[in-house]
Structure 1
Amino acid sequence: MKDLEELLNTIYIDIRKRNTERSPHSVPLSEDFYDEIEKRYSLIPYAIPTLFKILADSHKIFSFTVVEADRKERIRRVDGFVVTEGNIIKSLLEYYGDELIRAYSHEFSMKYSIERIIKEFFPKLNEYNNTHLGKTANIVIHLMSFQSTLERNIMQYGQKWQENQLRIEIEKRDPIEFFIGDGIGKTETGRDDEDEVTPEKSRRAIDAAKYEEFKKYMSKNSIEKAVIVYGVEFYTRVCFREYQFTLMKKLIEDGLIQEREDLMIIKKLLQKTRAHSDQDLNLQKYAHDINDLEKLINGKLKQDGKQ
């Protein structure tokens, strides 16, 4: 995998392939699809939602909620993904529409049309959250909405618009090394002389090179030296992608990181990481460590009297 665009297009193809099947798995769900592509492409788990956001913001796919998060019931949010192609959405709607009729008939012993089911069942959706009937109804409702969206905004879902927007979205992001683990997806060192070199592309190239240098430096030097040489922000980003929240906590407790500005940087990055907690199963395993780190940072800032 040579760059982020190739990775995104590969994931898009995977989604499209699933969408063209006629099976209960035609709409890939985050609860299992994230794990599938993580293993297939050696992805960093907490970074996976960002890849799907890029595709959605580029209008390559629709991303929607199939299961609402419910902390009281310990239910995690589950998202579904479909490509923005009218013929595929139509086919999916036919399949899931038939499945909704069957599921509704089984639950209520009444066989209604899709339109009537949606009208009567919509107010009850929350009651059936995380059930087969509830999931199917949510998928059908969203597919119907996507059909209307494509009809109203056809130009924004054309190939040219998507390609231009995808390039814009990629320019905002980290290089591929921040999404893929060691040994896979390294960028090529060569560059086509005709490629346009923008400031953002240069920054991403520098970040990629910096990350490779960092890994080599860490293999020969102490953590303390690495923090000093590479800075708190970069070191924190690397730690968080590897779920090393307890390590960051220890560095703060030991006084290696104590400046208010540095603590604010870590707090901001921690909040950004927590935003993925409903989607990243691995990240949720570290909820206690994340809370402890945040509590420590808030305490330090409060002691400083400037929070």
Structure 2
Amino acid sequence: MIRTNVDRVFRSIVAQNALHNLNSIPHSDVFYKEMESLYGLTKSELDIIISILRESHKILVMEISREDKNRKLEKVLGYVDADLVTLQKLKDVFHRALSDDYEKENGKKKTAHQIIRELIPRLQYINHTPLGRVLNKAIMLDEYIHMLEKDYKEYTEEWKDDNIQIQLDINSELLRDFTDKKKQEVPAEEDEPVQKPKAAYVRAVDTPQHREYLEQVSSGSVNKLLQIYGVDFFFRVNLRKCNFDFISQALDTGVIDRKKDLMDLKEMLKTIKGNIGSDAELEKHYDEIMSLDRKISRLISFSSK
């Protein structure tokens, strides 16, 4: 259960990082509430879990804005997957946002690096403003990329796996105490309210076309399925059924090689990645989803169609 909770928190961070927009970095004030709501984790448990992930180099923790007691503002931290590709994508997002926000406020177009040099001396004064937060993220993402490139051996998957086990061993007893305490505090079960049946809706997997598709899967090749049902339907049905490995195998055959189809699939998978933290079924397929996402990115970079 302890490892499960650590994995849940980590995957929630990875899923949010994968949004590739201004909400891609979870903020501690909101993230803690979400984790409590989704998984019943207390602040004390989350403090330990975040520490485990940070010390094992699974995540990086940045200070987005400092505590300001005079204005009754709490410190806000941000969480990022310690993965070079993720960091580079987030850097692009926040450098672009910094340039756009600066232009809106000052009427001048400058590069992110020019803005960083100009605003760093004023950072403590604009710390809690929208521009200040974007600036802080842009600066920290730059620093993290340099750190991972310099100390890359400490950010390999092998290093992380070895060290997360050490951190789990160190903290397991403390986390177990929190779990036991919560069990003792659980009130007697009450009768569950009768839920009204939900309105029926038709999904791709519920249609006659889908039943025909299933018959073809056992008897025909991927190429034949694509000719009959089309790439879009093939993607949607298999994503809905969590057949991520099957899609990966289909990509390996080379039948699906149009850049547009690959880009469409990447967009569909992006939505799925964003739901990992709140969908138990998707969590089981986390490794397959991330592997498929990396494969799609490679194929897009080599595709000329």
Q: How does the TM-score come out when normalised to structure 1?
A: 0.57
**1:42–1:181 CA contact under 8 A, matched in 2:** no
3-state SS in 1 of match to 2:171: coil
Corresponding residue for 1:107?
105
**1:42–1:180 CA contact under 8 A, matched in 2:** no
- 1:245-273 per-position Cα deviation (integer Å, ceiling 9, x unaligned): xxxxxxxxxxxxxxxxxxxxxxxxxxxxx
Correspondence 1:25 to 2:23: yes
- Against the structure 1 CA distance between its residues 171 and 62, is the aligned structure 2 distance closer, same or farther, given a 3 Å change threshold? same
Correspondence 1:137 to 2:132: no
Quick one: which amino acid aligns to residue 108 of structure 1?
Answer: N
1:46 Cα offset (Å): 3.0
Corresponding residue for 2:45?
47
- Against the structure 1 CA distance between its residues 141 and 180, is the aligned structure 2 distance closer, same or farther, given a 3 Å change threshold? farther
Structure 1 unmatched runs, 5+: 184-211, 220-307
**CA RMSD between the two structures:** 2.0
Query: Which of 40, 63, 73 lines up with 2:71 in the alignment?
Result: 73
- Against the structure 1 CA distance between its residues 100 and 179, is the aligned structure 2 distance closer, same or farther, given a 3 Å change threshold? farther
Corresponding residue for 1:15?
13
Aligned partners of 2:79 and 2:30: how far apart in 1?
A: 12
Q: How does the TM-score come out when normalised to structure 2?
A: 0.58
Aligned partners of 2:180 and 2:132: how far apart in 1?
A: 36
Aligned partners of 2:109 and 2:33: how far apart in 1?
A: 36
Corresponding residue for 1:5?
3
- Against the structure 1 CA distance between its residues 147 and 138, is the aligned structure 2 distance closer, same or farther, given a 3 Å change threshold? same
Aligned partners of 1:180 and 1:153: how far apart in 2?
A: 36
Structure 2 unmatched runs, 5+: 189-305
Aligned partners of 2:130 and 2:8: how far apart in 1?
A: 29
Aligned partners of 2:178 and 2:157: how far apart in 1?
A: 25
Quick one: which amino acid aligns to residue 133 of structure 1?
Answer: L
Corresponding residue for 1:169?
167
Query: Which of 59, 82, 85 lines up with 1:84 in the alignment?
Result: 82
3-state SS in 1 of match to 2:20: coil
Query: Which of 147, 157, 160 lines up with 1:159 in the alignment?
Result: 157
Aligned partners of 2:127 and 2:180: how far apart in 1?
A: 35
Query: Which of 120, 123, 145 lines up with 1:122 in the alignment?
Result: 120
3-state SS in 1 of match to 2:21: coil
Aligned partners of 2:157 and 2:130: how far apart in 1?
A: 34
Quick one: which amino acid aligns to residue 68 of structure 1?
Answer: R
Quick one: which amino acid aligns to residue 119 of structure 2?
Answer: F
Quick one: which amino acid aligns to residue 26 of structure 2?
Answer: P
Aligned partners of 1:65 and 1:155: how far apart in 2?
A: 24
- Against the structure 1 CA distance between its residues 169 and 145, is the aligned structure 2 distance closer, same or farther, given a 3 Å change threshold? same
1:182 Cα offset (Å): 7.0
- Against the structure 1 CA distance between its residues 178 and 109, is the aligned structure 2 distance closer, same or farther, given a 3 Å change threshold? farther
Q: Runs of 4+ in structure 1 displaced over 2 angstroms?
A: 174-183
Aligned partners of 1:171 and 1:20: how far apart in 2?
A: 29
**1:41–1:180 CA contact under 8 A, matched in 2:** no
Aligned partners of 1:67 and 1:40: how far apart in 2?
A: 25
Quick one: which amino acid aligns to residue 151 of structure 1?
Answer: E
